[in-house]
Structure 1
Amino acid sequence: MKSTLFKIIAAIFLLVAGVFLGKSFFSSPEVTTVPMPSTIKYRNVGLSRDTTQVAQSKAFNGKIIEVKDGTSIQKAVKTANSGDLIRVFPGTYSENVYIDKDDISLQGVVINGEWPTLDGKKEINDAFLYSGNGILIENFKIINYKGNGIMGQAGNNFVIRNNWIIDTGVYGIFPQYGKNGLIEHNVLSVIADAAIYVGMCDNVDVLHNEVFDSVAGIEIENSRHCLVENNYVHDNTGGLLAFITPGLPIKTTFDIIFRNNFVVNNNHENFGAPGSTVSSIPAGTGVLIMAADDVIVENNIITGNNNTGITIVDLATGDPKANDPNSEGNPDRVVILDNIMYNNGNEPTGEIKAIMLTQMDSKGPDIFAYGGGTGSTIRDKNKYRTFGIEDYGPAQIMDTQHIPTMMTPAPVPDRSVSKDQLGELTYYGVCAGCHAFGSRLIGPPTEILQAIHSGNPQGIVDYINNPKNLREDYPEMPPQDYLSDEAKMAVAEYILALKE
């Protein structure tokens, strides 16, 4: 009993310390810049050994371009060459910044608490869009966009850190179809889908972020080899999520570690777009694992989540309308190690409430498992209040401290594309974030696009250039007119030829 009480007191102390440190970061009166990225490195903190990981693909070897209030970040990007560093000084910049070059670093300079601020004024869709490899984006305040704060479109070796992102529409930070990335020390709030959304990516570390007042806190979707560690995820609808969305080109989610996170009071009402995948997340969900394989949940503090602490379900249960015969819908080989879980399940809802009532219990469990899946294990099933884990065997590992990072030992090759692959890459990197086959995401399913524009790729190109919101049940699509004419036609033809 004393040992348990000590753990809880220590956990609360660490939580308060983390909040204090997070607030002090934003109130610092000093000039805040990060040294020139001769090589972008980070040190993994709190592990049993020191590790250093290179994320960007090349050393800093270019010139410094300064952007002052009243000028344009996008113009600086247009003049930049590979290896250049763009430093942006405090001011308000209402623009969309698109980076289609490799090895460009964008670094905000914070002076006396004043940030370089990208303000979309609820008129612009995206703050930063990058398709280049080796991109660094750090030290920016991003507010009031309609679509995304920072979105990656098939760029590898990316670093997104030290940004303050508020009310940027659908996603806050959204790397899509990228490999070898680092997302760290960001603070995000008021996001209508996922604050941090790692979509169809490989080898990504998500570290030391604070995420709150959003629908989904940190979401790992159709991605592999990801480490989510030391994040403070609180007051969202759902805290940490790892799942498969059917109908996307990448069909699997596996090899995910949720470790050393604070997952607290994720009871926010769900304000996701009606019909979208996240709109079905019950308020009060701490951790959700849906159809993902080889997910390890270790040493997290999971408390105050009113529905459940950890929910583990198959696709048939979690997304019954999904229809993708190529997606294997069971969560296999989930591993629950030591975690501190208490005060969860105080107000269960929906199916969980109904199922618990059949057990003569009005309270939701710390761990709820329902549906298919094999090979899952748990360190100590008597440590938590549980439902549905009777077939979980004893865990075969003690911890994962031998895995300090999921990033690759060296930068991966830059993603390049031939003319024949241009349509596929554009679909994977741009379109699949909102359109899936047989499933509703933010935009209409891909087969609806095929029906509307059958035999008319130019119709899709025209819509890409100048979208109109024709349906009240879907949000407005942002224009993708920054894409080359060749890419637009290639992706239009790819969409019309695509089969499930």
Structure 2
Amino acid sequence: MSKRHMKCLAGITVTTATALGLAAAPTAASGQRDLVVHPGESIQSAVDAAQPGDTVMVLAGTYRESVLITKPGLTLRGAGERTVITPAAAQAPKATKATKGAEEAKAAHACATGGNGVCVIGTKGNTVDDVRIRSLTVSGFDKSGIWASWTDGLSVRRVTAGENGTWGIAQERSTRGDFRNNTATGNGDAGIFVANSVSEEGGATDTGGTLVVDNSVSGNRIGVTARRVRNLVIDGNTLTGNCSGVFVVGDESKPAAGAMTISGNRIVENNKFCPATPRLTAIQGSGIVLTGSEATVVRSNVIRDNVGSTPLSGGILLFKSFVGALNTDNTISRNLVQGNKPADLADRDTSGTGNTFVSNTCGTSVPAGMCAG
């Protein structure tokens, strides 16, 4: 880039920053900018001013707002756990500035009115691609800490999502998500939730290889839920103190849920009790539950001391889905499954076909004889 070009770009950047009360500077060579948000300033204003490829850097502090991202290629980066996004105090809505159209004003409030903290939202014909969320805390929202719909390549890392009413980090109708090194604790439903759609029935979505990797998930209703989705990896996570560790939900629609890998996770003492809901029986002491799944591989997990007395209790459990879908062609192999009650391994889907249990180290199984030692 020429010096003249850089000088011109810098002038534009400073003008934008001055108008917003933000600090911004171009990064080397690329022309992409860092927009810095200080305590007391608006994250949403910086997101609105950003262009694809820019980074919104949020300094340590508490920010009482919801943030909606509808542009591709943005990075929202905090300063670690000290950057906290929490709900705004209740107040009467302010008049929209004349410089904003009615449609923009409505969109700007979509995340907040939905009860979510940070939202990345596209549409069926126009997904929002390659957004990155890094190193911040999102807590106390009525619905989700982070909510994504119609996205591709969303990456969420080193985020703490806690004490949200439904989900900590959630994605629907999306592909190629990457969720790793996050902490999700004390959320009302799943700590991490991946689904085809939350508003309608239908066959499982191929997530294109979504990754849920190396997260710490505790004290939620369910640690990780994969609902009516295919083609994803749940690997290397630590799940403890939830009512259930990993829950795969399928139904009778086609394509069926499954074709996923659940491996290398540490799933210990998920013994919190969660009462029944209109969709699901009570849960307690569940390690990994497959309902209506096909061709899923469950291997090399450590699953210990998950204890309960509900129909879904146990270490690794195959259970016919509550809408009648069967488990088919799933492989459970080389897992260390011990101290779980009422059983370490349980195949309670007696009508399912092609399910195999191979080389699992465990003490008890239903039916008997499925443990290697």
TM range (shorter): 0.7 to 0.9
> What amino acid sits opposite 1:379 in the alignment?
V
How far, CA to CA, are the matches of 1:184 and 1:379 in structure 2? 29
Question: Alignment partner for residue 367 of structure 1, among 342, 345, 351?
Answer: 345
How far, CA to CA, are the matches of 2:132 and 2:361 in structure 1? 45
> What amino acid sits opposite 1:226 in the alignment?
L
Aligned to 1:378: 357
The answer to whether structure 1 residue 138 and structure 2 residue 134 are counterparts is: yes
CA contact (8 A) 1:244 1:251 kept: no
Aligned to 1:195: 191
Unpaired runs of at least 5, structure 1: 1-35, 39-58, 323-327, 346-363, 395-500
Aligned to 2:152: 156
RMSD over equivalenced CA pairs, Å:
2.6
Query: Could you say if the C-alpha distance between residues 335 and 133 of structure 1 is closer, same or farther in structure 2, counting changes exceeding 3 Å?
Result: same
Unpaired runs of at least 5, structure 2: 1-25, 91-111, 122-127, 197-204, 308-312
Q: Secondary structure at the match of 2:234?
A: strand
Q: Secondary structure at the match of 1:179?
A: coil
Aligned to 2:270: 266
The answer to whether structure 1 residue 205 and structure 2 residue 175 are counterparts is: no
Counterparts of 1:101-500 in structure 2, within 5 Å, are 101-110=71-80, 115-120=82-87, 125-131=115-121, 132-200=128-196, 201=205, 202=207, 203-245=209-251, 252-270=256-274, 274-277=277-280, 280-306=281-307, 307-315=313-321, 319=322, 322=323, 329-345=325-341, 364-371=342-349, 372-380=351-359, 383-388=362-367
Q: Secondary structure at the match of 2:225?
A: strand
CA contact (8 A) 1:60 1:84 kept: no
CA contact (8 A) 1:302 1:341 kept: yes
For 1:191-228, what per-residue CA distance to the aligned partner results, in whole angstroms no more than 9, with x for missing partners?
11111001125111111101111101011111111111
Query: Could you say if the C-alpha distance between residues 382 and 166 of structure 1 is closer, same or farther in structure 2, counting changes exceeding 3 Å?
Result: closer
Q: Secondary structure at the match of 2:45?
A: helix
Query: Offset of 1:270 from its aligned partner?
Result: 0.6
Aligned to 2:69: 99
Aligned to 1:401: none
Aligned to 1:76: 46
Structure 1 residue ranges, 4+ long, deviating more than 2 angstroms after superposition: 121-124, 380-384
Mean alpha-carbon deviation: is it higher for 209-218 or for 192-201?
192-201
How far, CA to CA, are the matches of 2:130 and 2:86 in structure 1? 25
Provide TM-score, normalisation by structure 2: 0.75
Query: Could you say if the C-alpha distance between residues 128 and 251 of structure 1 is closer, same or farther in structure 2, counting changes exceeding 3 Å?
Result: farther
Q: Percent identity?
A: 21
How far, CA to CA, are the matches of 2:130 and 2:365 in structure 1? 44
Of Structure 1 and Structure 2, the greater helix share is in: 1
How far, CA to CA, are the matches of 1:298 and 1:234 in structure 2? 18
Of Structure 1 and Structure 2, the greater strand share is in: 2
CA contact (8 A) 2:338 2:362 kept: no
